[in-house]
Amino acid sequence: MTQPSDRYLLIQERLREPLAEYVAKRRPSVSWRIIARELWQRTEIDVSYEQLRQWFPEDRAAAPADRAEAR
């Protein structure tokens, strides 16, 4: 992501911590949908799980390699 969107910045402001750090802590153990729901509950800003995947594409790119190493 080059320039954070207004929505990204507003979520981060209401979250009171960097959004990327929040997602990095939650992502290993929960789905994008759950993270999106948690963000809505904590910030009252609706964000879709697809939007989160677009904001943090490195997670999606790393997933196949992680699966290959686990074999």
Which pTM does this prediction carry?
A: 0.76
CB 39 within 8 A of CB 23: no
Give residue-wise pLDDT tens across range 10-63.
Answer: 999 999 999 999 999 999 999 999 999 999 999 999 999 999 999 998 755 444
pLDDT of residue 30: 94
Q: How far apart are CA 62 and CA 68, in angstroms?
A: 10
pLDDT of residue 68: 39
Three-class SS state of 23: helix
Q: Is 54 exposed, middle or buried (0-12, 13-18, 19+ CB in 10 A)?
A: exposed
